[in-house]
Amino acid sequence: MWSWVLHRITGVLTFFFLFVHVLDTAMVRVNPETYDAIIDTYKTPLVGLMEIGLVGAVLYHALNGIRVMLVDFWSQGPKYQRLMLWIVAAIWFVVVIPGAGRIFYNMFTAGGH
């Protein structure tokens, strides 16, 4: 049940990120100065923390989406759905921790953001 709820929430978050990303990228053609101002706001630690959340959301949504497809289209999927959820959680932690660490590092170094 909670994996279903989290899958929907991460899907909505990813959609809103893509929507904002398309809008801010379109600003480069409309008004380059506004685009530069928008990009400057992305170089703050708060946005860095939001990026960590985005990485976590996208990774969970992608990995759980594979699990959902296996449950739906693999004859043994329903039998192993709980095991697959634990595998998704393990892979998520293994991948998101170094990704979050790299973003966190970039937030506070001169070469980052």
Lowest mean per-residue pLDDT among 11-15, 18-22, 42-46, 79-83: 42-46
Is 10 inside any structural domain? yes
What's the confidence (pLDDT) of residue 59? 96
Is 113 inside any structural domain? no
Is 112 inside any structural domain? no
pTM of the model: 0.85
State how many domains the chain has.
Answer: 1
Structural domain boundaries enclosing 64: 1-107
Is 40 inside any structural domain? yes
CATH number of the domain bearing residue 59: 1.20.1300.10
Is 70 inside any structural domain? yes
What's the confidence (pLDDT) of residue 111? 56
Distance CA 24, CA 38 (A): 7
What's the confidence (pLDDT) of residue 113? 54
- Across the chain, what does the average pLDDT equal? 92
pLDDT tens, 45-86?
899 899 999 999 999 999 999 999 999 999 999 999 999 999
Compute CA distances 54 → 12, 33, 45, 61, 85, whole Å. 11, 26, 14, 10, 20
